[in-house]
A and B are shown apart, each in its own frame.
Chain A
């Protein structure tokens, strides 16, 4: 187990270097960011040269990358164009997005798995058909439509929530945005759980458990659910990274100042330091989430062992 974890951690190094390099090059291809800083006019050449020197943009790209990586390992992610250190931006943005992601994942787990179990056990019944239809609708409607619609109805028409989230972004304010962010994944979790449960319901160990007289509740939670959750856990695990990086749309609609907002602004202003820094952390989150998922397999299914 320990050796397996170490091996996986070591494998992260090339992925990490490759991902940062790719992002770094991609942002660089977009051209000189200084040109956008002076409004509708050309920066005067002397100031532009001075700014380039300050941000290290006068060096060749490979030198920039090496310097940047060197700094990253000492915890310095550079400075954004407005003079704020990128680490400061991260320290305000990541807690907000993590809260949003937690809300979204809780929705996926609670609602998604519950609905999946209910429909899986009652396949073909009206409940099953109803939920299936509902998930179909949710999957086919784009997130921004769901978001804007809920914002308009709950926020403006009925006045149940504030249409925008305050800078503190407490959990209570993030419930509706979290639901919007989770909606599509939630539908997938429901469908995955349903299929998995329906399949395993026919298996020998379930029949054995029923035959030895276990109460139905125990059969479902202990035997059926635990074996059916493996694909669902994989999905949710990889979804954490996707939710954090993909929150741009939801964050824009509800004016949440999280990772998506910083990334969007970083891209618009071609701020290499911001974009690379945030994406690097997102890549790490993704890798760690994947590792945790793999480790969770062993917990759920003792037959899986890592050497």
Chain B
């Protein structure tokens, strides 16, 4: 009897205590931006540790973009690579480069940015033992095969192609001619690193230090990062606001709801389900601009059914059976544009984008599609299975729509079905193990705005992202020629010739160019997305 009374008393006490805390806890937290001039922005938990050469997705990239500046920077509007820390990059043969670093740059901890800051960082990024996932970016530099062999252990610690000449000069020797090399140096992997990165690595990871317009004030892994404007930043692109609070959201719908409720200032991933409401919710505070992303359907060329002369007609036929316009209009509300080549509009015509390069093969033409597929021997196995990962994005919606379009064109309800894979990791795994039997989703987000980046990694023999293992001697030869060209315009036109080889073989079916989209609160102005679909944070003004 007695014990029961005690138990009940305890429960009551807990309830009272809880009610008290509840009353106390509610009031404190403020609105979207607590401090004046600081904006809050949606974020996702970076998948890998925040090291420049280890970050290959957009969430970690966002932070690196704010806290680092490299030798080059891609203009947020045009995408052109312009000199940032580089005073000059000289070469006479497109293979040996002499790089001079500008004077007067420091990291936000006061340390000077020197030639050594770059060389040490690149050596760290390339070295196999550091597990850096972007190591292959250093693959053009001589000695890469020694510090990062394809198998076995490394026989050198540093790249033999990198030499520090003096405080502000270093030389780079490549293992092949690559005229576009200086333009790749804006990629985050090529950022300089302070000595504290090497001496106190764990401390650096807990609070990364860079040379960009922002410094990290606090970082709670998995939930929030608070960045403040670095007043001592020497560059021309100083932050126009006092800081940025990045908040991790598990679900982009919740982030959007928070924006509507006035608790968040910037959402840079408007969920597909909200696109219909975005005009009425935000009015003019919504941007939708092209990004360097193209979605394609790739094919398994290791499967003989897809690697014969007839299959090329089938692929072209399939391309013509897809009503791209209708799908981008209805499913994506024009946040994607039907693709007519294999690059992206953000390159600009000078950079190699050529509208209509695909020609009639990318036009919707059901009758011709049906004829071509019949001539090519019909669909291999009688049915087309489009494999995709169902865990992120709106992949299921568009794959079903593509299949529907193909089925209608062929007049067969069972001609095409989607084949969902549960997780992205498993999807990549099945691709890596060559388990694909039909077309599969292939998305490509550019690393740097060069036509080379849209072609070589995807279609060159055994290239890093050539998932379908397509191989063509003509294509490889043209790409090699283009890379050896010292004249940019000539290089671009050689790459376009290579792209025509991709077209003639329909190595992959281009679907659509993806836009970046963002919505923002009334406090913000001058909001824009760069070609990598990342907000240009340093230019945002907060009122």
Residues of chain A whose beta carbon lies under 8 Å from any beta carbon of chain B = 30-33, 35-47, 49-51, 54, 81-84, 88-89, 92, 102-103, 106, 109-110, 151-152, 155-156, 159, 162-164, 166-168, 170-173, 175, 226, 251-255, 257, 261-262, 264-265, 267-270, 299-300
Contact = CB atoms under 8 A, between A and B. Distances in A.
11 contacts: A31-B430, A38-B133, A42-B431, A46-B151, A47-B133, A47-B148, A83-B49, A151-B254, A164-B249, A168-B29, A255-B251
Given A46-B148, A82-B45, A152-B257, A167 B224 contact: yes
A163 B221 CA distance: 22
B309 interface: no
A166 B149 CA distance: 46
A170 B3 contact: no
B445 interface: yes
Nearest to A33: B425
Interface of B: 3-4, 7, 11, 14-15, 18, 21-29, 45-49, 56-57, 128-129, 131-133, 135-136, 148-151, 205, 220-224, 247-251, 254-255, 257-258, 260-261, 263, 391-392, 422-432, 442-445, 457, 464-465, 467
A210 B333 CA distance: 70
Given A32-B432, A41-B465, 20 more contacts: A32-B429, A36-B427, A36-B429, A40-B443, A40-B445, A42-B465, A43-B133, A45-B151, A82-B49, A88-B221, A151-B257, A155-B257, A164-B258, A167-B220, A167-B223, A170-B21, A253-B251, A254-B254, A265-B250, A268-B425
The dominant DSSP class at the B interface is mixed
Given A109-B11, A155-B257, A47 B131 contact: yes
Contacts of B261: 155-156, 159, 162-163
A264 B251 CA distance: 11
Nearest to A29: B426
A59 B128 CA distance: 20
B22 A39 contact: no
B222 A164 contact: no
A21 B422 CA distance: 22
Contact of B14 (A30, A33, A106, A159): A106
Contacts of B464: 41-42, 44
Given A35-B429, A44-B464, A81-B48, A252 B254 contact: yes
Given A36-B423, A36-B428, A36-B429, A255 B151 contact: no
Nearest to B151: A46
A263 to B, nearest CB: 11
A179 to B, nearest CB: 12
A39 B57 contact: yes
A162 B29 contact: yes
A207 B18 CA distance: 37
Q: Which 4 A-B pairs have the closest CB atoms?
A: A36-B425, A172-B25, A172-B26, A170-B25
Contact of B131 (A50, A103, A226): A50
Contacts of A103: 18
B423 A163 contact: no
Contacts of B428: 35-36, 38, 42
Contacts of A84: 221-222
Contact of B135 (A44, A171, A262): A44
Contacts of A168: 29
Contact of B26 (A46, A50, A156, A173): A173
Given A41-B457, A83-B49, A106-B18, A252 B133 contact: no
B26 A32 contact: no
Contacts of A155: 257, 261
B148 A171 contact: no
The dominant DSSP class at the A interface is helix
Nearest to A173: B25
Contact of B432 (A35, A92, A299): A35
Contact of B45 (A47, A164, A265): A265
A222 to B, nearest CB: 8
Contacts of A166: 29
A83 B25 contact: no
Nearest to B7: A299
Nearest to A301: B4
A47 B251 contact: no
Nearest to A30: B426
A306 B467 CA distance: 64
Nearest to A248: B250
A171 B258 contact: no
B205 A83 contact: yes
Nearest to A260: B250
Contacts of B442: 40
A119 to B, nearest CB: 21
Contacts of A45: 150-151
A37 B48 contact: yes
A30 B423 contact: yes
B57 A42 contact: no
A102 B17 CA distance: 12
Nearest to A151: B257
B48 A82 contact: yes
A37 B7 contact: no
Contacts of B4: 226, 299-300
B254 A270 contact: no
A123 B135 CA distance: 72
A267 B423 contact: yes
Given A44-B135, A47-B128, A265-B45, A38 B424 contact: no
Contacts of A35: 425-426, 428-429, 431-432
Contacts of A264: 250
Contacts of B149: 46
A145 B49 CA distance: 36
Contacts of A92: 222-223
B47 A81 contact: yes
A114 B276 CA distance: 44
Contact of B18 (A30, A44, A171): A171
Given A32-B425, A156-B257, A162-B263, A44 B136 contact: yes
B257 A50 contact: no
Contacts of B11: 109
Contacts of B430: 31
B452 to A, nearest CB: 15
Contacts of A30: 422-423, 425-426
Nearest to B248: A257
A253 B28 CA distance: 22
A102 B21 CA distance: 13
B29 A173 contact: yes
